[in-house]
Amino acid sequence: MRKVPIYTALILAFILAATNIFAQYDQEKDEKLSFINEAPYKTVTVKSIEGEKVKNVILMIGDGMGLTQISTAWVANRGDLNMTKMPFTGLVRTYAANKLITDSGAAGTAMATGQKTSYHSVGVDVNGNPLPSLTDLAKAKGLSTAVVVTCGLTDATPAAFCANNADRDMEEELAADFLDCNVDFILGGGRDKFIKRTDGRDLMKEMEQKGYQVTRTWEETSKINSGKVFAVLEDGQLPMAEKRDGIWQHASMKAIEMLSKNDEGFFAMLEGSRIDDCGHWHDIPKLMGEIFDFDQTIGKVLQWAEKDGETLVIVLADHETGGLTLLDGSIENGTVKGHFSTGGHSDIMVPVFAYGPQAEKFVGVYENTDIFKKISEILNLLP
């Protein structure tokens, strides 16, 4: 009967190892579900704008940033955020034309073009026909335009403004669409899709031939003060907030400064793209880092808009990600504890915050397509 103790020992060892692995996994999971903000930041205070004239519109999209993501960040930053201090608020319904739970493709298209489209489509209607986006229409009216994101440029949100395709996964085709999008200041990641292509084209070079100043680092980009910019800073997405050195924030302000030289005005779409990733990963510490970077940028943008006096700033999300619930925390100590209910998106309405002339037009409950309608009306973009 010598075998029995050996088997017993083996089984016991296996159980012990498994328990250990599960305990470690649980601990890691727990660490991702709570957060303490050791260094809260100060928000800005801006005065309300008197006039009615809107020369510029800055649309800031927090991808996957639902109300609970914002509430969680508000608690973690000791009961203070720039976006929740903006004077006018609304709620937006996000569903796609053919699916209740949307994606960034259909949701981005709704905001960029004013039409609900199919899940996974970018810049096209339900039949696959290309639609003009806010950047196209603004450009046609003589305004300057910018798209500044932390994801790859062929990701769904920037693609909804710059490309047209029934399938957002056709990233090489989306990359080629950037050649004709005519946006003045483009910054993001996703370089691989422009140079490591099955058709052998070098789209970075082709953008240069189109008259763009093509850059690969923020350092190079930061030195440019006029002309068109095509900055693709990474092979994939830009790094997460803790390793990004504030690049998206600097790039957003750079784009605004450069675009504001146009007397006709400008339209800028600035996206905090990676908020969504943190929802998919169920990672609250990283989620807070992304929202804080997004919100601190909002603070800078609001101060700029206050000085300008003719700039409308709109902050919203394309949809919620992760089905986040805020379960516990402390406003005093900046602690939060959450729970995610899905690995995907949810269909809860998302908040809109607005500041500047005609910001009151964003009050109420409406469709994501109304974002396009309101902006195009305010800027008089439609024929």
Record the tokens describing residue 18, joined without a space: 């498994």
C-alpha dist (Å) from residue 63 to 60, 80, 315: 9, 21, 11
Residue window 321-360: x/- pattern of binding to Zn ion, with contact defined by CB under 5 A: x---------------------------------------
Using an 8 Å Cβ cutoff, are 251 and 209 in contact? no
Find the helix or strand (DSSP H, E) in which 319 lies.
Answer: none
According to CB under 5 A, which one of 71, 109, 157, 252 is a site residue for Mg ion?
A: 157
Q: Rounded to the nearest whole angstrom, what is the least distance from the CB of residue 63 to Mg ion in the complex? A: 4
Least Å distance between CB 122 and Zn ion? 14
Which position's Cβ is nearest Zn ion? Answer: 276
Using CB under 5 A as the binding rule, whether residue 150 contacts Mg ion is answered as no
Q: Is 104 in the site for Mg ion (CB under 5 A)?
A: yes
Please pick, from the candidates 184, 234, 271, 276, the single residue that binds Zn ion as defined by CB under 5 A: 276
Number of H helices and E strands in the chain, helices first, is 13, 15
CB of 150 to Mg ion, least distance (A): 9
Nearer to Mg ion, 57 or 159 (CB): 159
By CB under 5 A, residue 154 contacts Mg ion: no
Q: Does 155 bind Zn ion (CB under 5 A)?
A: no
Taking residue 257's Cβ as centre, other Cβ atoms within 10 Å add up to 12
* Smallest distance, Mg ion to C-beta of residue 108, A: 7
Host H or E run for residue 292: helix 284-308
Counting contacts by CB under 5 A, is residue 177 touching Zn ion? no
HSE-CB for 364 with a 13 A CA cutoff: 10
Check residue 63 for interaction with Mg ion (CB under 5 A): yes
Give whichever of 117 and 321 is closer to Zn ion, judged by the CB atom. Answer: 321
Total residues binding Mg ion (CB under 5 A): 4
The CA distance from 363 to 119, in Å, is 27
Compute the half-sphere exposure of residue 272: CA atoms within 13 Å on the CB side of its CA: 32
Kind and range of the H or E run holding 16: helix 3-33
What residue 297 binds from Mg ion, Zn ion, none (CB within 5 to 8 A, per partner kind)?
Answer: none
CB of 318 to Zn ion, least distance (A): 9
Q: Could you tell me the smallest distance in angstroms from the CB atom of residue 273 to Mg ion?
A: 4
Question: Considering only 189-197, 215-223, 271-279, 295-303, which stretch makes contact with Mg ion by CB under 5 A?
Answer: 271-279
Neighbouring residues of 192: CB distance < 8 A, sequence distance ≥ 6: 235, 236
Options 112-120, 201-209, 269-277, 369-377: segment touching Zn ion (CB under 5 A): 269-277
* Among candidate residues 287, 248, 222, 244, the one with its CA nearest the CA of residue 69: 287
Piece of 34-42, 105-113, 137-145, 316-324 that binds Zn ion (CB under 5 A): 316-324
Cβ neighbours of residue 361 under 8 Å, at least 6 residues apart?
A: 354, 374, 378
| CB 160 to Zn ion: min, Å | 14
Q: Which does 273 bind (CB under 5 to 8 A by kind): Zn ion, Mg ion, none?
A: Mg ion
* Cα separation, 131 vs 306, whole angstroms: 33
Q: Please say which residue, 104 or 311, places its beta carbon nearer to Mg ion.
A: 104
| Residue numbers 106-145 binding Mg ion by CB under 5 A | none
Q: How far is the CB of 75 from Zn ion (least distance, A)?
A: 23
Structure tokens at 94: 């996000």
Residues near Zn ion (CB under 5 A), total: 2
Alpha helices in 97-202 (DSSP H): 104-113, 134-140, 156-162, 171-177, 192-195
Which tokens belong to 307?
């000085």
Kindly state whether residue 273 participates in binding Mg ion, applying the rule CB under 5 A: yes
CA nearest to 137, candidates 183, 94, 177, 92: 183
User: Which strands make up the sheet holding 335-339, listed edge to edge?
Assistant: 34-36, 335-339, 325-330
Cβ-Cβ contacts under 8 Å for 100 (sequence gap 6 or more): 347
Query: Shortest Cβ contact with Mg ion: which residue?
Result: 157
Q: Which residues bind Mg ion (CB under 5 A)?
A: 63, 104, 157, 273
Q: Which residues bind Zn ion (CB under 5 A)?
A: 276, 321
